[in-house]
Chains A and B, each alone.
Chain A
Amino acid sequence: MDRIEASAREMVPRSSFALMSVVGILTAGLVAYSQFLALYGDEGFHLLASQLINAGKRPYLDFFYQHVPLYAYLNAGVFRIVGNSWRVPHAISALCSGAAIWLAAGFVLQRVQDRHWRLPVAMTAALFIGLSALVIPYGTVGHPFGLCLLLTVAAFRMVILAVKRNRSWLAALAGLCAGTAAASSLLTAPVAPILLFWMLRHNPAGTRWHKAVWFLGGTLLPFLPLLWLAIQGPRQVFFNVVEYHLFFRQRYQATVWANILDDVRTLFDLWLGTTQGLLLILMAALGLLFLDERDEWAPAERAELFLCGWLAGGLGVFLSCTYPVWKQYFILVIPFLGILAAMGVYGLGTRVWVSSGRPAWLALSVVLLFTLGLARPAISMGQNLQFVSKRWQHVEAIARAVNEVTPAEQDVYCYDEFVFFVSGRIPPTGLENSFSRDVQLPLRLAELLRVRSPDQLDQDLAAGRFATVVVEYDDPKVEAFELPHRYAGHTRIGTVEIFWGRVEGEK
């Protein structure tokens, strides 16, 4: 039995209970947020993809889907059990985020030796993650972020266990978690190799390669759906999962350098232009410095904490190389950075503020400062909520109206995947994913990939192919295609115009 296990056994149950209460409150808050406020523009096509899978369609082959497929399949499974609703994936994401917080904070609770500091530091880690301005809005939506948070932290915990114990299945489980994360979102791709290398380096000789094989086996398993799809349509799968990201992702500036500058600015604003980013960076750096100096931990224990650094650094570098970079990607770094930052607070408290003996005050001040970092995102969210289009109620009202006026089998023209998802309708080819419309491809390849250009969709609109048309009120198509003249019915919900009841000739 090593020191950590001994410490874990010694752990006062009250500490665990207190930590569980804090994590419980954070999780409840995340779930509440997910049900009342969370809405992320990019979750629409993920939710719709799951709905299409349940309708018997296959990603890549039957519709454009530029991500690895596991998350869409998992969601589809959930939808089969509990029905199509945005609330379910939101709640699951929030619960996954909550579980990730628990795993990360639990790790800290086990590693801190000083019994006065154990609980405050673990709570600080939990609050650093749970109150992060990235975790709250992006870890609670129908997007793989929440699931990936849980799986990456679980893989981290498993690989530590796998190194300590002579159980190959633990290595396989770690690989499975890391592989599932990567098969849900390629943004977590570096986690598996980092964990594998770390395991190879720190595992006692003898079982090293054996465990590596098990780990790799576990990692590959979640990619089977992708493999199955790749066998059926290799060109489509390669384009959607690889080629699109390399050559067709939407960029907002004219030149490569301008795009890179934009990405640098995004990184700067996220890490050096926000209270939370700055605090996490500084405290995590301090945490690493303290780890290097302290003799509190045995080398093996210290290596586990440094693994957090490798994961935070490796993921951070990988995410910074995506092109374009979006700040929400960095949600995946938060748990590991949160653990290190909490260690930084621990170091400060036990080395610099030794005389006080009141760890709670230091932890509370730092957490308070961290919470202040939520002020600006909260204000922007408040301003966003003033726009009716940013609310689920608005989408639901549109979907209700569309279903009232459109027979079940008829086609609806709408650029918003949310409307198709909430109305439970199958979108016409080319309208399943708004990102496909920015891709300019040769005609044959576009047909193979089920991609339709805006011009082709406009032609369909001009030909009156759609029973109902949903457009923004200021969309030039209203005038260009004389929609008020070509459709008998017309209503406006918020910022959206709905036209229905095609008329032959003009009204």
Chain B
Amino acid sequence: MNDGQPEAGPLAALSAPVFWRGPVLLGSFVAVLWAGLLLYSQTLAWRGDEGFHLLAAQLVAAGKRPYLDFFYQHVPLHIIVTAGWFRLFGDTWRSAHALAALFTGATLLLIAQFVYARTWNPVWKVPAACAAAILIGLHAEVIQTGTVAMGLGQCLFLSTAAFRSAIQAARRDGVSWCFVAGVCAGGAAASSLLAAAVPVILLLWIVHQAPPGSGGRLAVWFITGAVLPFLPLVWLAIEGPGQTWFDVVAYHLYYRQTTAGTWVAQFWDDLKTAYEVWLETPQGLMLILLGGLGLLVVAGMEPGEHPERAEWMLCGWLAGGVGLFLSCTAPLFSHYFILVIPFLSALGTLGLSALGSCLSPEKRPVWLLCFVTAFFALGLIKPTYRLLRGDLQRWSVYDEVAREVNRVTPPAEPVWAFDEFVYFFTHRIPPAGLENVYAQSLSLPPDLAARVRAVPLAQLESSLTTGRYATAVTESDQDAIARLGLACRYRGQTRIAGYEIFWNPTEPGERKRDC
């Protein structure tokens, strides 16, 4: 060993300062994680809430318009992009998941490369960048939510790309990078309003970093870029201002289903969620501690000596600002915080490399990296345990249900199903009001309900009695089946896993035996 350089050995390559080896090693490492995410997305990834996103994308691909033709309570860019992807690669859950995993994997690459480029200690360059990739790629929420068709993978990528572009804009004083940053930040917000804080923070940072006199010019370019991804929304708002306003704004302000009865109870519920995510999981606490350590390191940097200080500070602003904004959503769900992970991870690796450099400058950082990885991976035990205890066969069940529904139902006949996945898998257009399960719980004046295409649950259930549906699909809930009288209204009945399929409706006046 000489001059603090690592010893030669099989693992020494990880910290060897050979110019080409680092990027290759880092690229390979990220590729492995990326492949893991892709594999998970194609096998186990599933979220109950992705059904209406998938169906909405399919409906858009079929020429329908969100808000105007069906209820959709989110900004539209994600489903528009997914619809385009469906046209290219087919409208299957696998293609949608692959897209999400690609976006999430690209996020890993962007952050890992950012850390690699800004780690001054050559011994720590690759390990720190690998740590960044691990802190994102092995995070339970990233794995579970960044690989499904809910738009958060796209959001992750676009907000990270916006962050990188904003840094380029500040470094080069270039309007083109500023415009790209705006497009990406706007794209993130237009994919999910959960990322709404990203463009605001980036705009303020760019203006703050801009040389005297050029702040206004850069701001205009950034805002122009940020507006672009909202054009589909603007177009929809022109066509149906009331519907668009209701779905994108009013619904979230006044009609979101809360998990607790009162505002105070909801506040405590949300506080509990945030507490559990950040303080009661190895991954959350490790990110908080390493991120905090990273901030301490940044605070100790002299702006003159470390020009990258502002960039690290931007990581902190994004992590803090986006985290604060997400904490104000009510109700708050743990997977929202996925948007904070890339920035906190980047800061965390700064803390980790500082810690490692102080702790054992003469030792190979790979051991500290192994410890961090092992400890971080411990946070996957509980989610894995829950996953294994859950239903691992969901997608094949949907496939089977869809096959059976299509077998027993003529192509143009309407199907009644509460689960959006059934429509998505059967490639059938759902009857009005059944496109989105969240619309069914809305209590609206009839004219507004008709305008936003929200049909109350009672009305949907009573429509079953008219016999206008060729097939009805419900979960195997015997009480609901008895209440709706499905067994008496249909001649055919099949059960597949947890689903009950009824087909071939009885004629009016005709009664089955035992009914």
A 4-44 to B, binary, CB cutoff 8 A, 1 in contact else 0 = 00000000000000000000000000000000000000000
Report the minimal beta-carbon distance from B343 to chain A, rounded to whole angstroms: 20
Please give, as numbers and ranges, the residues of chain B lying within 8 Å of A365 by CB-CB distance.
292
B313 at the interface (CB under 8 A from A): no
Please give, as numbers and ranges, the residues of chain A lying within 8 Å of B282 by CB-CB distance.
272, 278
A 278-315 to B, binary, CB cutoff 8 A, 1 in contact else 0 = 11001001100110010000000000000000000000
Report the minimal beta-carbon distance from B223 to chain A, rounded to whole angstroms: 38
Indicate if the CB atoms of B359 and A289 lie closer than 8 Å: yes
Report the minimal beta-carbon distance from A268 to chain B, rounded to whole angstroms: 7
Indicate if the CB atoms of B279 and A352 lie closer than 8 Å: no
Using A289-B359, A372-B279 as known contacts, say yes or no to A279 and B297 having CB atoms under 8 A apart.
no
B110 at the interface (CB under 8 A from A): no
A80 at the interface (CB under 8 A from B): no
A382 at the interface (CB under 8 A from B): no
A115 at the interface (CB under 8 A from B): no
Q: Which of B275, B286, B355, B382 contacts A352 (CB 8 A)?
A: B355
Please give, as numbers and ranges, the residues of chain B lying within 8 Å of A376 by CB-CB distance.
275, 280
Report the minimal beta-carbon distance from B312 to chain A, rounded to whole angstroms: 15
Q: How far is the CA of A365 from the CA of B293 in the complex (A)?
A: 11
B167 at the interface (CB under 8 A from A): no
B360's nearest neighbour on chain A, judged by CB, is A293
B285 at the interface (CB under 8 A from A): yes
Using A282-B289, A356-B300 as known contacts, say yes or no to A289 and B358 having CB atoms under 8 A apart.
no
Q: How far is the CA of A7 from the CA of B300 in the complex (A)?
A: 30
From residue 374 to 391 of chain A, which have CB atoms closer than 8 A to chain B? Answer: 375-376
B289's nearest neighbour on chain A, judged by CB, is A282
Please give, as numbers and ranges, the residues of chain B lying within 8 Å of A290 by CB-CB distance.
359
Interface residue tally for chain A (C-beta within 8 Å)? 28
Q: How far is the CA of A489 from the CA of B184 in the complex (A)?
A: 79
A 349-368 to B, binary, CB cutoff 8 A, 1 in contact else 0 = 00111111000001001000
Please give, as numbers and ranges, the residues of chain A lying within 8 Å of B382 by CB-CB distance.
268, 273
Indicate if the CB atoms of B293 and A352 lie closer than 8 Å: yes
Please give, as numbers and ranges, the residues of chain B lying within 8 Å of A354 by CB-CB distance.
300
Using A274-B280, A275-B279, A351-B358 as known contacts, say yes or no to A282 and B285 having CB atoms under 8 A apart.
yes
Indicate if the CB atoms of B300 and A353 lie closer than 8 Å: yes
Q: How far is the CA of A148 from the CA of B409 in the complex (A)?
A: 73
Q: For chains A and B in complex, what number of residue pairs have CB atoms within 8 angstroms?
A: 61
Q: Which of B297, B359, B375 contacts A293 (CB 8 A)?
A: B359
B381 at the interface (CB under 8 A from A): yes
B296 at the interface (CB under 8 A from A): yes
Q: How far is the CA of A298 from the CA of B97 in the complex (A)?
A: 58
Indicate if the CB atoms of B279 and A273 lie closer than 8 Å: no
B354 at the interface (CB under 8 A from A): yes
A78 at the interface (CB under 8 A from B): no
B209 at the interface (CB under 8 A from A): no
Q: How far is the CA of A290 from the CA of B351 in the complex (A)?
A: 16
Report the minimal beta-carbon distance from A351 to chain B, rounded to whole angstroms: 4
Q: How far is the CA of A376 from the CA of B281 in the complex (A)?
A: 14
Q: How far is the CA of A392 from the CA of B282 in the complex (A)?
A: 37
B378 at the interface (CB under 8 A from A): yes
Q: Which of B279, B280, B300, B351 contacts A355 (CB 8 A)?
A: B300
Please give, as numbers and ranges, the residues of chain B lying within 8 Å of A289 by CB-CB distance.
359-360
Indicate if the CB atoms of B381 and A268 lie closer than 8 Å: yes
Report the minimal beta-carbon distance from B76 to chain A, rounded to whole angstroms: 39
Please give, as numbers and ranges, the residues of chain A lying within 8 Å of B288 by CB-CB distance.
369
Q: How far is the CA of A354 from the CA of B300 in the complex (A)?
A: 9
Q: How far is the CA of A182 from the CA of B238 in the complex (A)?
A: 79
Please give, as numbers and ranges, the residues of chain A lying within 8 Å of B379 by CB-CB distance.
272
Please give, as numbers and ranges, the residues of chain A lying within 8 Å of B280 by CB-CB distance.
273-275, 278, 376
Please give, as numbers and ranges, the residues of chain B lying within 8 Å of A355 by CB-CB distance.
300
Please give, as numbers and ranges, the residues of chain B lying within 8 Å of A274 by CB-CB distance.
280
Binding site for A on B (CB under 8 A): 275, 279-282, 285-286, 288-289, 292-293, 296-297, 299-300, 351, 354-355, 358-360, 371, 375, 378-379, 381-382
Binding site for B on A (CB under 8 A): 268, 272-275, 278-279, 282, 285-286, 289-290, 293, 347-348, 351-356, 362, 365, 369, 372-373, 375-376
- Other contacts beyond A348-B355, A352-B293, A353-B300: 5, CB < 8 A: A268-B382, A279-B285, A355-B300, A356-B296, A375-B275
9 inter-chain pairs at a CB distance below 8 angstroms, sorted by A residue, are A268-B382, A274-B280, A275-B279, A275-B280, A282-B286, A289-B359, A290-B359, A352-B296, A372-B279
